[in-house]
Amino acid sequence: DSVARQREIPRLPPNISRESFNRAMAELREILGDANVELNDKPLVDGWYMEHPNTHDAFHITDQEEMVCSAVVFPSSTAEVQSVVLWANKYLIPIYPISMGRNLGYGGAAPRVPGSVVLDLGKRMNKVLKINARSATCQVEPGVSYYALYEEIQKLGLPLWIDCPDLGGGSVLGNAIDRGVGYTPYGDHFSKHCGMEIVLPTGELLRTGMGAMEGKNGTDNPTWESFQPPYGPYSDGMFSQSNYGIVTKMGFWLMPETGSKTYMVVFPNDNDFEQIVEVIRPLAQQGVFANIPQLRNVIQELAVFGKPRSDWWNGKGQMPREEIRKHATALPCGDIAWVFYGCQYGDAASIQSQMNCIQKAFSTIEGSRFIYPEELPDDHYIHARTKVFSGNPVLKEIDWCNWKPNGAHLDFSPITPTQGEDARIVHDIIHRLFKKYGFDLFPTLTIAGREMHYIANIIYDMSDPDEKRRAVELMCELIRETAAEGYGEYRTHLLLADQVAATYGWNDQALRRFNESIKDALDPNGILAPGRNGIWPKNYRGKGWEI
Ligand code: ADP
């Protein structure tokens, strides 16, 4: 409360006087209407997943008041987005687009530069614009959530699946732009997008892919959502994890409904996990796994219950292995060390032949056992997994945050080769550093044929400044140590973007300099999301913004 009173309200954008800010806001109200411009001048409320704030980072890792916007605006159309962009260029006020702003663990709805104006696209631009049952495609606006797309398809009675991440409340478009992932065979969201409409930082309008070609009589091109590249360079990737444009429409491929079978494989020995990775690799390369399966540590069997950690153990520091074992033994899967969550797809005969192959492969690991959903009680996590594996949105995963009071999470997710020895190196670094900083470790490995993501969730108490400080220090040390081994993060929190981007530094930061050249060409005034993904426009570079 006292901190809230210290904030200049609203927080102004850098180098803008209150007078010129007020003038700019008056003009913005004329463009969008009074009701669609909200100053960030009330006490901040963290809310929860379904009622997340668009004023700041709900899962703050520094002071709650640090990552705040000056105002939130709600455009209703591409044309209004263009008007706001022109306005930003006129007043040199940084703007920060979000789709729904549920990017929890990565910065939420917060802008990187405090005092930026947040463009909340999702509130009023939330239509499923097209669904084509014959081509199994759709086109959406930024405010379409996984739940909304799912319901639209159900309403039309179409035999199509969506692909959702662990939580179904986020934006289909926003998640794809940030290169988020899900769990059906269409889990690589950006690779299943097809054609975008983008407002560039100068206010110009661009369509990529086949959308760049007009259809008959000025209609949308009939293959906008069907074929990804246009003629010439394929530029779509530039608009993912970047600050080069505001995406207002996006096409997607939808997966035709099929049969599926979910299962777990449990392994009794802590040290088996290198061998598990070795068994998974060829199955993934051969396509026996059509989606990206997960290997989780036994501690997740406790965490996904949603009970606070103190119900299991109330000691300080990392929960000891023996405590985890004691409680896991009393749970349905028993005294295990690792759990593999898999799903096979196709008709019954095809699933059977895939299962034969998988059973044979895992039988080489001593003590491994298959467990099926029908053998487990109704409240077991497997049932939420079964839904996600077949494109049904769920919210179960948020229960994790109950592990700590005022629980929030921060994710560390380096990419390594799918090889036992790499899994061991990265696991040992992560295990040692989590212990050093006093956090429980929840390893999840999402394993593909050639690389895997080791996802380590830091669950921390947001009301405890010391815990937040330790969480950030842990992240910094993790980034440094794994980079020294050659492992880089695929995504990170807004405030760690500079550090992660710098690890991609081969040849004197050639990639960063290249990204900056593009930024300066597309956004000469540096108004669009400065600093996002470690890309700073020239008017910010070398002025103390990079951390
Ligand atoms: P979700 O609600 O799915 O978690 P967000 O809306 O928070 O997704 O989007 C994640 C991040 O991606 C945002 O912080 C923003 O930087 C970027 N982003 C989201 N939507 C857009 C968009 N339409 N245009 C440009 N960048 C976007």
Structural domain boundaries of the chain? 2-120, 128-253, 260-491
What's the 448 CA to ligand 1 centre distance in angstroms? 26
pLDDT tens digits, 239-253: 999 999 999 999 999
The predicted model gives 519-542 an average pLDDT of: 98
What's the 187 CA to ligand 1 centre distance in angstroms? 18
pLDDT tens digits, 231-242: 999 999 999 999
Instruction: Identify which of 96, 177, 197 to mutate to test ligand 1's pocket (most ligand atoms within 8 A of the CB).
Output: 177
pLDDT at site 7: 60
The one-letter amino acid code at 44 reads: L
* Residue 345 is a catalytic residue: no
Given the residues 91, 96, 106, 147, select the one marked as catalytic: 106
pTM (predicted TM-score): 0.95
546 to each of 39, 143, 376, 495, 498, how far by Cα in Å? 27, 31, 50, 10, 6
| The CATH classification of domain 2-120, taken from the options 3.30.70.580, 3.30.43.10, 3.40.630.30, 1.10.10.10 | 3.30.43.10
What's the 328 CA to ligand 1 centre distance in angstroms? 38
The predicted model gives 280-288 an average pLDDT of: 97
Assigned token pair, 176: 């794809």
pLDDT at site 485: 97
- Through-space distance between the first and last CA atoms of the chain, rounded to whole angstroms: 28
Place domain 260-491 in its CATH homologous superfamily: FAD-linked oxidases, C-terminal domain (3.40.462.10)
The predicted model gives 11-39 an average pLDDT of: 96
Q: From 117, 139, 115, select the one nearest 129 (Cα to Cα).
A: 139
Q: What residue has token string 């929840």?
A: 442
Do the beta carbons of residue 210 and residue 224 sit within 8 Å? yes
* Nearest residue by C-alpha to atom 25 in ligand 1: 246
52 Cβ neighbours under 8 A, 6+ residues apart: 58, 101, 102, 104, 108, 109
The predicted model gives 515-537 an average pLDDT of: 98
* Nearest residue by C-alpha to atom 23 in ligand 1: 247
pLDDT tens digits, 451-466: 999 999 999 999 999 9
pLDDT tens digits, 321-349: 999 999 999 999 999 999 999 999 999 99
pLDDT tens digits, 114-150: 999 999 999 999 999 999 999 999 999 999 999 999 9
pLDDT at site 397: 74
Lowest mean pLDDT among 164-168, 294-298, 490-494, 541-545: 164-168
pLDDT at site 50: 73
126 Cβ neighbours under 8 A, 6+ residues apart: 141, 142, 143, 144, 148
pLDDT category of residue 4 using cuts at 50, 70 and 90:
very low
Q: State the fold for domain 128-253.
A: 3.30.465
What's the complex ipTM? 0.94
pLDDT at site 2: 44
Do the beta carbons of residue 369 and residue 266 sit within 8 Å? yes
Give the pairing of strands 246-253 and 193-199.
Answer: antiparallel
* Residue 491 is a catalytic residue: yes
The predicted model gives 423-437 an average pLDDT of: 97
pLDDT at site 401: 82
Mean pLDDT of the chain: 94
pLDDT tens digits, 41-65: 888 888 876 778 888 888 888 888 8
What's the 347 CA to ligand 1 centre distance in angstroms? 37
H helical segments located in 266-364? 273-285, 299-303, 309-312, 321-329, 348-362
pLDDT category of residue 6 using cuts at 50, 70 and 90:
low
| Percent of the residues in the chain that have a pLDDT greater than 70, as a whole number | 99
Q: Residue 18: is its pLDDT beyond 70?
A: yes
The predicted model gives 75-98 an average pLDDT of: 98
pLDDT at site 223: 97
* Residue 234 is a catalytic residue: no
